[in-house]
Chain A
């Protein structure tokens, strides 16, 4: 009996130790184009994690009919009411190739298959695209997003400052930024995402993600896209979420 109590104490102490490590679970690129599939996937991930997660929303309507857009708005509203956290994820996600970009930006487009919408833009174009993104979001009429995530995490030297003037949080590949007064606080955080990893390397990428979560340090971001359910598979995704949840406490951006 006494021995059982000791084991329970040790297990409780281990649980407290693990819970000191934190992670963010985010579903990316939820949009009017994919929301019917994505809403099911998001709820499955949240169920595996045990609580609502963060969702990065692409606000553009594209050529979607008004009935679809209305259903998308209702779904967003439902997520907000259920306690999910909304982040803004670019305007269209896909880059406008007619805009002038720096050499670095052009390279980012090449690597990202033209998805890095904000890469290499100048100050004026960045401001305009950011405002467009916010205007598209406001058209959905669902409160204010917690933060801004540039598509593929490729920004430019103006975006962080401009985004933090509007939103509470901004993130890039290496960290999450929060404005406190005149200063910007950086939280070290690695992006653990699988969407642009070649299929042959997906197994290793999953092992690397689990290892990063196991090792101490950082508030890493575990990110899933709709595509991952086809390439990695639902069972492995949900088990990865469950495994990570046993090692780290899941938080949202607003808890940072």
Chain B
């Protein structure tokens, strides 16, 4: 049982790190964009 829990925890941690890495790449590109427009005012 504890072995299964440990392996699951490892898997979840690895998947979280991978997802965070891809989100980091996405955000890095987004924050460097020259023509980022805020459309929140248009939606209101």
Interface residues of chain A, those whose CB is within 8 Å of chain B, are: 11-12, 15, 48-50, 203-204, 206-207, 210-211, 235-236, 238-243, 245-246
Interface residues of chain B, those whose CB is within 8 Å of chain A, are: 20, 23-24, 27-28, 30-34, 36-41, 43
Whether the Cβ atoms of B41 and A50 lie closer than 8 Å is yes
Closest Cβ of chain A to B22, distance in Å, is: 10
Closest Cβ of chain B to A203, distance in Å, is: 7
Closest Cβ of chain B to A130, distance in Å, is: 37
Whether the Cβ atoms of A207 and B38 lie closer than 8 Å is no
Whether the Cβ atoms of A242 and B32 lie closer than 8 Å is no
Specify which chain A residues have a CB less than 8 angstroms from the CB of B33 in the assembled complex: 239
Whether the Cβ atoms of A206 and B40 lie closer than 8 Å is no
**Given A236-B32, A239-B33, 18 more contacts at CB 8 Å?**
A12-B43, A15-B40, A48-B38, A50-B41, A203-B24, A204-B24, A207-B20, A207-B24, A207-B28, A210-B23, A211-B27, A236-B31, A239-B32, A239-B36, A241-B38, A242-B38, A243-B36, A246-B40
In whole angstroms, what is the CA distance A11 to B42 when docked?
A: 12
Which of chain A's residues has its CB closest to B43's CB?
A: A15
A interface, over-half SS: helix
Whether the Cβ atoms of A243 and B31 lie closer than 8 Å is yes
Q: Are A50 and B43 CB-contacts (below 8 A) given A207-B20, A239-B33?
A: no
Whether the Cβ atoms of A242 and B37 lie closer than 8 Å is yes
Specify which chain A residues have a CB less than 8 angstroms from the CB of B34 in the assembled complex: 235
Which of B23, B28, B31, B32 interacts with A211 by CB under 8 Å?
B23
Q: Are A50 and B38 CB-contacts (below 8 A) given A12-B43, A239-B33, A243-B30?
A: yes
Whether the Cβ atoms of B31 and A206 lie closer than 8 Å is yes
Closest Cβ of chain A to B1, distance in Å, is: 30
Whether the Cβ atoms of B27 and A242 lie closer than 8 Å is no
In whole angstroms, what is the CA distance A151 to B38 when docked?
A: 31
Which of A207, A238, A240, A245 interacts with B40 by CB under 8 Å?
A245
Specify which chain A residues have a CB less than 8 angstroms from the CB of B31 in the assembled complex: 206, 235-236, 239-240, 243
